[in-house]
Chains A and B, each alone.
Chain A
Amino acid sequence: MANEEFPLKKVCIICAKGTIEDVYAALVMSNGAVMEGIETKMFFTFFGLDAITKKTMNSLHTGVVGNPAMRMPGGLPFPTLLGAIPGVEAGVSAMMRSQMDKLDIPPVKEFLEMIEAGGGEVYACKLAMDMFKLKKEDLWEGVKEVLTVGQFYEKCGGLQTQIIFT
């Protein structure tokens, strides 16, 4: 079987969005890969940079306006206008984070530290950093390097490697 003959050896996971769900999709997939012994490289770009910026990393939000999958506790649809009320987005986001904590899903910083402890590598996109006027010292200390797209691709070579865009 192809899966046994050619197991995945390396994943390069790109995170370009800064909502809780986009960032956690990238973190869960990366940590999962590290746990399986798969070489893992993460690349944060555009709003995804929020997840590795010290100031924002532990207070990410989820979108409550224009998110048709959003539900009230209990399953009723979440009215878009309700999401427009100040504080609602923060409340919903805090609730989501507490739900995740119950499943032993750690806060962003701790999650990144877990990935790093297992040998995963975290990179930031140079172009997006320039755009948002961010400096290396604004980022979480575990960020290995600020890279151009070309430099990131150089790290993504090799057989049995996949690039995943969350």
Chain B
Amino acid sequence: MAQKIYAGVSVDVNEEGYFTNPAQWTREMAAEVAGEEGINLTDNHYAVLSFLRERYGKGEALTIRSVGNSGIIDIKGFYGLFPGAPMKKAAKIAGIPKPSSCV
């Protein structure tokens, strides 16, 4: 398993850079992962990240629709915060595995 240093701490990541142990994640690390993706994290970003982490923790599927229904942000806004591939990028920054949902 690969290791990467974020915020001065070594964490376990897979070959694509996703955290394999979400418990190792901190907000400071998120900022650094986001930087690699060219994203500057704002409070809105952090709100989405906590939502995804909470949902992941409950074992619920991570879908674009669930983010849109979260009350935090609408789908267009989600694409705006994490341009390109929002769900994958957000999961990577949130320190959780790559989403496996098709919707």
Contact = CB atoms under 8 A, between A and B. Distances in A.
A159 interface: no
B76 interface: yes
Interface in A90-136: 103-106, 110, 113-114, 117-119
B58 interface: no
Interface residues of A, number: 16
B85 A117 contact: no
A71 to B, nearest CB: 22
A35 B65 contact: no
A37 B85 contact: yes
A37 B68 CA distance: 17
Contacts of A103: 61, 103
A77 interface: no
Interface residues of B, number: 19
Interface string A9-25: 00000000000000000
Contact of B64 (A31, A37, A119): A31
A32 interface: yes
Contact of B103 (A36, A104, A113, A119): A104
Interface in B26-78: 61, 63-66, 68, 74-76
A97 to B, nearest CB: 14
B84 A114 contact: no
A88 interface: no
Nearest to B74: A117
B99 to A, nearest CB: 9
A28 interface: yes
A119 B84 CA distance: 10
Contact of A37 (B74, B76, B84, B103): B84
Contacts of B96: none
Given A37-B84, A104-B61, A117 B79 contact: yes
Interface of B: 61, 63-66, 68, 74-76, 79, 83-88, 101-103
